[in-house]
């Protein structure tokens, strides 16, 4: 079975999809699937998310050349919609009679549809709705996202498969025990972009002003949004408490998770929220919003899942920062156990392999002569 995996970019600045698509590609090859990975910016050749010696084949040329160079693909698995390359992939798959699976990546969530809505409305009627209908299968990472897709009445089958998580080896043995320092740390990791809800977090922090805590904001600035958040931080007199640290990768990023006492993601919407999974994999309790599909934080008593507004975030923040270090570490340990059991990469890759085969079988039946 030969699969082409495509995504807008495989660079760290692209966030969760770059990591999860790379992780899926690697695990599929370990299960015997022939995988080619491609992104329109050429980043397949330089992505740091594939290990040295990986069997994943990488292509950085024009899309049609990918099809010409690697022969007949059994399935194309595209990630994302709206962008020109997504429409190009849909067109090429139609021309070459290759079935296409489409991971929506949260791009049909209500907040996402409202963001730059005029351009999206034009694209919807010109090509996007038709491209969605022509997909063999739609993939959602949560039941919440599945419901958003269903509201569009596209009449395409939907499968729900979460992203996989890599549990750091040191944490796998035993969660990191953070010392009871005089200053404790709350951590945000993600793009500095309006969808992430950072103004809500700053407003909440200003309401609570937890004593003995600092907030680290880790991630790349996008569309100049950092300047807007910085102004709000200064207006609230929090410049000595809240710090932007830019993007971190590798050991620096791992160290940020290990040193955190609490992880916060105040997003308006997430189809999955890879940073939440990463935090749990390091044994860090999580505070996030109902814009993310993480109600399981409540079920497993490893975090807070609240409404998308500064008052609700402030209430949870007040509770979280009033807990002692031991209690937070116990919550983090429960989160690690949940991540280990629910988001195994082996299981995720197996589910996708089964989906690919199902799509191939369905395509073969449709192609049979009457």
Q: Please state the CATH superfamily assignment of the domain spanning residues 2-164+344-367 in this structure.
A: Glycogen Phosphorylase B; (3.40.50.2000)
> Domain spans of the chain?
2-164+344-367, 169-342
- Note the helical H segments in the chain: 16-30, 63-70, 84-96, 110-114, 117-123, 129-133, 143-150, 169-173, 198-208, 225-235, 250-259, 274-281, 296-299, 310-322, 325-342, 345-367
- Of 264, 340, 292, the closest CA to residue 145 belongs to 292
pLDDT score of 166: 85
Q: What's the CA gap between 282 and 19, in Å, rounded?
A: 17
Q: Are 233 and 206 in contact (CB under 8 A)?
A: no
Q: Residue 101, SS3?
A: strand
Q: Which residues contact 51 (CB under 8 A, 6 or more apart)?
A: 26
Q: Which residues contact 334 (CB under 8 A, 6 or more apart)?
A: 300, 301, 302
pLDDT score of 141: 95
Angle CA(223)–CA(111)–CA(92) in degrees, nearest 5? 80
User: What radius of gyration do the chain's Cα atoms show?
Assistant: 21
Residue 327 in tokens: 């209690």
Q: What's the CA gap between 248 and 174, in Å, rounded?
A: 24
Classify residue 274 by burial, with Cβ atoms within 10 Å: 0-12, 13-18, 19+.
Answer: buried
Q: What's the CA gap between 196 and 178, in Å, rounded?
A: 27
Q: 149 in the Ramachandran plot: left (φ > 0), alpha (ψ -120 to 50) or beta?
A: alpha
Q: Which residues contact 369 (CB under 8 A, 6 or more apart)?
A: none
pLDDT score of 110: 93
pLDDT score of 126: 96
Instruction: Please count the other Cβ atoms lying within 10 Å of the Cβ belonging to residue 29.
Output: 19
Q: For residue 293, what is the DSSP state?
A: S
pLDDT score of 13: 84
- Of 324, 321, 285, the closest CA to residue 205 belongs to 321
- Of 96, 93, 83, the closest CA to residue 127 belongs to 83
Q: Are 188 and 219 in contact (CB under 8 A)?
A: yes
pLDDT score of 180: 55
pTM for the model: 0.87
- 210-231 burial: b if 16+ Cβ within 10 Å, else e: beebebbbbbbbbeebbeebbe
Q: Are 29 and 35 in contact (CB under 8 A)?
A: yes
CATH 3.40.50.2000 is the classification of domain 169-342: yes
- Of 81, 67, 74, 72, the closest CA to residue 38 belongs to 67
- Show pLDDT as tens, one digit a residue, over the chain (370 residues): 999 999 999 998 888 899 999 999 999 999 999 999 999 999 999 999 998 889 999 999 899 999 999 989 999 999 999 999 999 999 999 999 999 999 999 999 999 999 999 999 999 999 999 999 999 999 999 999 999 999 999 999 999 999 998 888 655 545 555 555 579 999 999 999 999 999 999 999 999 999 999 999 999 999 999 999 999 999 999 999 999 999 999 899 999 999 999 999 999 999 999 999 999 999 999 999 999 999 999 999 999 999 999 999 999 999 999 999 999 999 999 999 999 999 989 999 999 999 999 999 988 765 544 4
pLDDT score of 362: 86
């Amino acid at each position: 079975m030969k699969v082409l995996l495509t995504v807008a970019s495989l660079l760290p600045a692209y966030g969760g999809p770059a990591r999860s698509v790379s992780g899926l590609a690697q695990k599929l090859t370990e299960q015997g699937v022939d995988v080619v990975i491609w992104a329109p910016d050429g980043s397949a050749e330089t992505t740091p998310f594939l290990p040295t010696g990986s069997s994943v084949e990488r292509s950085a040329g024009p899309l049609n050349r990918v099809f010409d160079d690697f022969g007949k693909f059994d399935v194309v698995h595209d990630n994302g919609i709206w962008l020109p390359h997504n429409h190009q992939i849909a067109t090429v798959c139609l021309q070459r009679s290759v079935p296409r699976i489409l991971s929506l990546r949260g791009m049909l969530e209500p907040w996402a549809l409202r963001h730059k809505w005029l351009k999206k409305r034009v694209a919807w009627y010109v090509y996007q709705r038709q491209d969605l209908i022509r997909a063999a299968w739609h993939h959602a990472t949560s039941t919440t996202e599945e419901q958003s897709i269903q509201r569009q009445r596209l009449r395409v089958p939907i499968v729900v498969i979460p992203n996989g998580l890599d549990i750091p080896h040191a944490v796998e043995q035993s969660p990191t025990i953070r010392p009871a320092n005089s200053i404790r740390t709350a951590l945000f990791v993600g793009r500095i972009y309006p969808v992430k809800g950072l103004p809500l977090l700053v407003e909440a922090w200003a309401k609570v002003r937890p004593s003995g805590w600092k907030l680290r904001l880790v991630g790349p600035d996008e569309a100049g949004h950092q300047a807007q958040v910085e102004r709000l931080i200064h207006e609230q007199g929090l410049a000595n408490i809240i710090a932007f640290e830019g993007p971190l990768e590798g050991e620096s990023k791992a160290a940020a998770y290990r040193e955190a006492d609490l992880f916060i993601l105040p997003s308006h919407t997430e189809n999955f929220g890879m940073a939440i999974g990463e935090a749990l994999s390091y044994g860090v309790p999580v505070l996030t919003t109902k814009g993310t599909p993480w109600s399981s934080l409540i079920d497993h008593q490893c975090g807070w899942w609240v409404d998308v507004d500064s008052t609700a975030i402030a209430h949870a923040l007040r509770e979280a920062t009033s807990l002692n270090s031991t209690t937070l570490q116990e919550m983090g340990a429960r989160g690690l156990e949940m991540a280990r059991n629910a988001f195994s990469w082996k299981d995720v890759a197996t589910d996708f392999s089964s989906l690919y085969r199902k799509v191939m079988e369905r395509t073969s039946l449709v192609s049979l002569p009457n």
